[in-house]
Amino acid sequence: MRRPRRGAVPPTAAGTLAAMSEPVPSTPDVLEKLVSLCKQRGFFFGSSEIYGGINALYDYGPLGARMRRNVRNLWWRAMVESRDDVEPIETSIIMNPQVWVASGHVATFSDPLVDCTGTCRKRWRADHLGDLRRERGKPEDAPGCPECGGPLTKARQFNLMFRTHLGPVADDAAQVYLRPETAQGMFVNFATVVQAMRRRLPFGLAQLCKSFRNEISPSNSIFRTREFEQMEMEFFCKPGTDVEWHDYWCTERMRWWTEDCGVRGSRLRLRVHDKEELSHYSTATSDVEYLFPWGWGELEGVADRTDFDLRSHMKHSGRDLSYFDTETTERYVPFVIEPAAGLDRGCLTMLVDAYDEEEVRGEKRVVLRLHPDVAPWQVAVLPLSKKPQLTEVSRALAARLRTRFRTEHDETQSIGRRYRRQDEIGTPLAVTVDFDSLEDNAVTIRERDGMTQVRVPIEQLERACEDQLAACRASALKRARE
Ligand code: ATP
């Protein structure tokens, strides 16, 4: 849950488990270039743009939707499918409003807000003023509004939950909220799942779904939006074992970002919260942070939420959410470790981390060095020209490859432009069908990062792609660990 912000923390102040070679920040214009590329190539763009858009809401195009699906799958695989101690769950977006009273969101899920009374009249998060000034090239402690320098009002608290009404009567009794986090769905269903699944502790409940926050100052493209997707897991354990499990999940989550998603460890850190920064429910929290072009930003929080939520729901609902350990015959309220990550921020991180420009034979090449398991496509099949004798072969090959790999067939524009497009959207392999292919039954595989080319017999194509993708995964791992 939202904690008070205290500006960017310098890298040296970080507690860390991550590789900590001195990070090299990306140039500030990387985000601008990337956002424009993402729109042009169909990753993401402002929502309902034909009506002038709507602030801090985004739509994902065909490539973004594919990439998001891949990242979701990686998380699902790591957190649910590859484990025997985590169960999946999908809970509703609108819950009984008492849930948000018990969780503390009605009373405390708010940000301090200030208004500019000078020329720009903009509204800001009071705890973000330092960062906002820095982003605009001003000293963090400069007086007044970050934009125009005008006077600011005193801070007021603003609750971030979106409200709506259930049923036809729009009065206070029917007021409900769009959930601001998925976590509470797991807490309120804890006892039901224990019983239904005959679960013993420790075990986790994982959920990957949308959340909504009426952010005051959304910023940096899809980093902070008003509708976003969370990848959260609540791991219920015996009190006293929580410190150990918290360490375990910090390490495991850092591993996931680097090894499974290919994010460079040199740009990641695990920042331990000091006492004043901790949320009211937490005894220990560490944030996984990435060094974005504008500075360090949180991707995931790993919190020891103690028994706060379960106890609070017990108090407010009158239901018993304690756990009876049949082995030790003890009854207790479990402690909870929560790794909570953002899918949209995760995708932005992977895109920023992958963005690269280089000069090849006197020309600028833009390439997204995405991990092959994250990239929208794994293989692009490109006939050298649009001649029917080539496209017939290439389409059949694409159909064959599609059963094993995420495969695109692209026959528009010159082959040079098509390679450029595939580099820009991060496709690791391009298979080219040329006129010789009709004679020698072989095709050329071009690999994205090194631009190396090999000729392989068509009958061995699947095997060759498999090998090349394995090599891409190995080099992504090497890059992530550097
Ligand atoms: P922040 O301080 O950046 O607002 P938070 O500490 O409030 O984040 P949590 O409540 O811990 O965030 O949520 C877990 C994760 O959900 C965050 O690490 C982030 O990846 C994602 N997330 C939270 N708010 C947003 C948002 N407005 N837009 C996109 N992702 C978000």
> What span, in angstroms and rounded, lies between the C-alpha atoms of 51 and 55?
12
> What span, in angstroms and rounded, lies between the C-alpha atoms of 14 and 476?
26
> What span, in angstroms and rounded, lies between the C-alpha atoms of 191 and 106?
24
> What span, in angstroms and rounded, lies between the C-alpha atoms of 369 and 476?
8
pLDDT at residue 16, as a whole number? 34
Amino acid at residue number 68: R
- Report the residue count for the chain: 482
- CA-to-CA separations, 65 to 45, 147, 418, 450, in angstroms, rounded: 12, 34, 21, 27
Q: Residue with the nearest Cα to atom 26 of ligand 1?
A: 224
> What span, in angstroms and rounded, lies between the C-alpha atoms of 235 and 203?
6
Amino acid at residue number 270: L
Task: Please state whether beta strands 203-212 and 86-88 pair in parallel, antiparallel, or not at all (unpaired).
Answer: parallel
Structure tokens at 462: 């699947």
- CA-to-CA separations, 219 to 105, 131, 216, 363, in angstroms, rounded: 23, 11, 10, 33
HSE, side-chain direction, 13 A CA sphere, residue 102 = 23
Atom number in ligand 1 closest to CA 343: 20
Atom number in ligand 1 closest to CA 213: 27
Q: Residue with the nearest Cα to atom 28 of ligand 1?
A: 224
CA 445-482-18 angle, to 5 degrees, is 130
Q: Which of 328, 325, 115 is nearest to 216 (CA)?
A: 115
Tell me if the bond preceding 376 is cis, omega within 30° of 0. Answer: no
Question: What is the Cα 51 distance to its own chain's centre?
Answer: 28
- What's the 348 CA to ligand 1 centre distance in angstroms? 13
Listed in sequence order, the DSSP H helices in 79-178 are 98-102, 105-108, 129-135
- What's the 170 CA to ligand 1 centre distance in angstroms? 30
- What's the 381 CA to ligand 1 centre distance in angstroms? 38
Q: Residue with the nearest Cα to atom 25 of ligand 1?
A: 224
Any bridge partners for residue 324, and if so which? 331
Q: For residue 141, report the phi and psi dihedrals to the nearest 5 degrees.
A: -100, 20
Atom number in ligand 1 closest to CA 232: 14
Say what the pTM is: 0.91
pLDDT at residue 395, as a whole number? 98
> What span, in angstroms and rounded, lies between the C-alpha atoms of 449 and 131?
35
pLDDT at residue 15, as a whole number? 31
Burial class of residue 37 (count of CB atoms within 10 Å of its CB; 0-12, 13-18, 19+): middle
> What span, in angstroms and rounded, lies between the C-alpha atoms of 87 and 260?
21
Q: Residue with the nearest Cα to atom 8 of ligand 1?
A: 2
Atom number in ligand 1 closest to CA 224: 28
pLDDT at residue 128, as a whole number? 86
Q: Are 270 and 250 in contact (CB under 8 A)?
A: yes
Structure tokens at 203: 């075990």
Q: Which of 8, 9, 314 is nearest to 132 (CA)?
A: 8
- What's the 183 CA to ligand 1 centre distance in angstroms? 12
What residues line ligand 1, using a CB cutoff of 6 Å? 1-3, 181, 213, 215, 224-225, 228, 230, 298-301, 340-342, 344-345
Q: What is the DSSP letter of 291?
A: E
Structure tokens at 255: 């591993």
One pLDDT digit (tens) per residue for the chain, 482 residues: 554 333 333 222 333 333 333 344 556 689 999 999 999 999 999 999 999 999 999 999 999 999 999 999 999 999 999 999 999 999 999 999 999 999 999 998 998 999 999 999 998 989 889 888 988 889 999 999 999 999 999 999 899 999 999 988 878 888 999 999 999 999 999 999 999 999 999 999 999 999 999 998 787 999 999 999 999 999 999 999 999 999 999 999 999 999 999 999 999 999 999 988 888 888 999 999 999 998 999 999 999 999 999 999 999 999 999 999 999 999 999 999 999 999 999 999 999 999 999 999 999 999 999 999 999 999 999 999 999 999 999 999 999 999 999 999 999 989 999 999 999 999 999 999 999 999 999 999 999 999 999 999 999 999 999 999 999 999 999 999 98
> What span, in angstroms and rounded, lies between the C-alpha atoms of 22 and 479?
15
Handedness of CA 380, 384, 385, 386 (dihedral sign): negative
Q: Residue with the nearest Cα to atom 20 of ligand 1?
A: 342
> What span, in angstroms and rounded, lies between the C-alpha atoms of 289 and 302?
11
Atom number in ligand 1 closest to CA 2: 7
Q: Residue with the nearest Cα to atom 24 of ligand 1?
A: 224
Task: Compute the CA torsion angle 257, 263, 269, 272 (nearest 10 deg).
Answer: -20
